[in-house]
Structure 1
Amino acid sequence: MFKFLTILTWCLALSLTIAQDAPNVPTGDVITLSLSSSEAQATASATSTNTPIVTATRNGKAGIGWPSQEKDASPVIQFFTPNSTVSWWFDWTKNWNQGVLNSDGVEIDGQFVPMLFGVDYLNNFDTFQDGMTELMGYNEPDLKSNTGVSVYLEPSQAAEKWKTQIIQIRQQYPNIKIHSPVMASNKTWLLEFFKSICPDDSASDGWGNCEYKPDYVSAHLYTTDMNYFKGTLIEFQKDFGIPLVLSEFACHKFGSDPHPSLEEVSTFMEETMTWLDQQEWVVKYAWFGVSRDPQWLFGVYETNRLMATDGSLTSLGKQYMNGGKKIS
């Protein structure tokens, strides 16, 4: 798949932050919505597909994105050891063990969250992951690109597709939690999308009883400034009024030099993860930088890597598994 998604990739976003100019940290009341962190099973690190698997049940918001272009699922196992705080993962596709990645003999007990990459993927030849409980929405439909990594749609066009699809999905999966489309950078696009699917409601009441609203609003954010990070997400969540999933973030600012050092990235990780874990309205988050092949980092600074080119975990990867706390 992904055709393989044109390697479709996800391509994430990589690019851009939610906004151009860093806002001041908003003051006043912040909308908070109580919800429990996702539960997931974790597996012991395996060096071969025949290694016995040890499982442990954990709660946690931290997850990882693993590019399906890597073609092998087994490296992901390293993030789901019994003591790891990483609880979920995704690969920008509808499934991972049905031909997308080489998964012979591989078991990954962390929660896998499928993605409906674009509006034309619901009824393609790929099936959703068995047992899915959440679904990520369209990936960066605000991004105009001729590289094949994103299919641009006007918000109203995407909204019409969404209304049909979300009803179909919820009929088939009554308990599913659905994430909104996620923007590369254009928050206005997403606001217009919400107003198109729920014209009689607003963020002030969490879009009321609108049958088309997603359960979570999703965001991508790349910055090296902690105050900007907090202020942008607080403002973003207030603008949409529902729990938030930060499915991509890193200590990176596109088009900016000098690049942050490993120590600066480590400090940023510790501060952001500590803060994210404290916000009740943050459901999940995923650091961007899990790949062996540098091309799948899409220009994000190498100091953000959680995995080395040989497939072993970096010191930052181990820190991420440690709840963001530095390992002495």
Structure 2
Amino acid sequence: MSNEYSQNPGKAGISWPTQEKTSDPVAKFFQPSSKLTWHWNWSKHWTSPIVPETSNDLQINAEFLPMVWSPDLINDGYRLQPGWKLLMGFNEPDHQDENVGSNRSPQQAVQAWIQMSRWRTEPDQKLVSPGVAGNVNWLKEFFSLIPPETKPSYINVHVYTTTFESFVSIIDSYWKEFGLPIIVTEFAMHSFETGVLGPQNQQQVHDFMGQTTKWLDETPYIHKYSWFGSCRDSYHLHGVNELNRLMDSKGDITPLGWQYINGGHD
């Protein structure tokens, strides 16, 4: 991968939960000066009927990455929107809470994954692995079970931690284990571990974003990344510290959101 590519400012995107019911606020992240280039929402597309209150004439000048959230949704009646290039597999299948993860064993995920792989009809259409909540052994077992011709081209990684050093260490461990380019679809300055102190002020999150996005942009094996914190309803943060918000409850971009839109770092 060339050095020019590794410093490409176009790696950054956003996540937007379908539970917000409309994709209209997503367009605010893709104004003409925005450095962001893609978005995703844990589902197969970003328009109605999956996101039912989205304006019929909404235009978002950015790539959309569809996801099949759970193996159970492989035949839910919704098709992928035309023009997709990257298709993501199941969301946090190792997570016990089905409100945030699909909670399926590697064995339960294999047949749906094989069916997903058959949706590729063009040479530039690629698969992105399931994104585990942290159980790398789940992913290793999954890789051992799927046919070689269905192997994903990218690894989906979620990282919630409070230090730059641990952030780099966690992502680097996926690279060393699987040797595939990485798409970090969720990250924020937050830890779900008991007793680990979260950010104490907004400046700490601004600094963390600056460090992490700079590293992501400069690291050749990182293909794309998206910060977690784009929503209006606090419920959709699922416990992630409010200081990570890119948008407030009124639908306005926060100062952290503007930092992200403008590149995340100097």
Task: Find the counterpart in structure 2 of residue 265 from structure 1.
Answer: 205
Aligned partner (choices 80, 90, 103) of residue 55 of structure 2 = 103
Letter in 1 for 2:82: D
**How far apart are 1:315 and its partner, in Å?**
0.3
Q: Cα deviation per residue 1:72-116 (whole Å; 9 max; x = unaligned)? A: 211111111222111100111101113222232211111111101
Instruction: Report the count of equivalent residues.
Output: 261
1:281 maps to what in 2?
221
1:244 aligns with 2:173: no
Q: Letter of the aligned partner of 1:276 in structure 2?
A: L
Distance in 1 (CA, whole Å) between partners of 2:34 and 2:131 is: 27
Partner of 1:219: 157
Deviations 1:18-68 (A, max 9, x none): xxxxxxxxxxxxxxx559869xxxxxxxxxxxxxxxxxxx96010100011
Residue of structure 1 in register with 2:248 after alignment? 308
How far apart in 2 are the matches of 1:35 and 1:282? 12
Q: Residues 4-83 of structure 1: matches in 2 within 5 Å?
A: 33=1, 60-83=10-33
Letter in 1 for 2:165: N
Q: 2:79 aligns with which of 127, 134, 137?
A: 127
Distance 1:297 1:36, change over 3 A: farther
Contact 1:34 1:281 in 2 (8 A): no
Given the alignment of the two structures, is residue 140 of structure 1 paired with residue 78 of structure 2, yes or no?
Answer: no
Secondary structure at 1:263 match in 2? helix
Given that 1:35 and 1:280 are in contact with CA atoms closer than 8 Å, whether structure 2 keeps it comes out as: yes
Give the match for residue 194 of structure 1.
143
* CA-to-aligned-CA distance 1:136-171 (integer Å, 9 cap, x gap): 1111111123x44433222133224323431x112x
Unpaired segments ≥5 residues, structure 2: none
CA gap 1:249/1:125 in 2 versus in 1, 3 angstroms: same
Cα pair 1:61 1:284 within 8 Å, conserved: yes
Residue 233 of structure 1 is matched in structure 2 by 171
Other-structure match for 1:183 = 132
Extract unaligned runs of 5+ from structure 1: 1-32, 39-57, 199-209
Secondary structure of 1:135's partner? Answer: strand
Higher CA-based Rg: 1
Q: Distance in 2 between matches of 1:88 and 1:224?
A: 25
Quote the offset at 1:300 in angstroms.
0.6
TM-score by length of 2: 0.91
> How far apart, CA to CA, are the structure 1 residues paired with 2:46 and 2:122?
19
- Structure 1 length-normalised TM: 0.75
2:40 corresponds, among 85, 90, 100, to: 90
TM-aligned CA distance change 1:94 to 1:185, over 3 Å: same
CA contact 1:35–1:281 (8 Å) conserved in 2: no
Using the TM superposition, give the Cα deviation of residue 323 of structure 1 relative to its aligned residue in structure 2, in angstroms: 0.9
Preserved contact between residue 71 and residue 108 of structure 2 (Cα < 8 Å):
no
The letter for the 1-side match of 2:160 is: Y
Which letter maps to 2:105? Answer: E
Contact 2:191 2:198 (C-alpha < 8 Å) held by counterparts: no
Q: Which residue of 2 aligns with 1:158?
A: 109
1:117 counterpart = 2:57 = no
Indicate how the Cα distance of structure 1 residues 35 and 187 shifts in structure 2: closer, same or farther if over 3 A, else same: farther
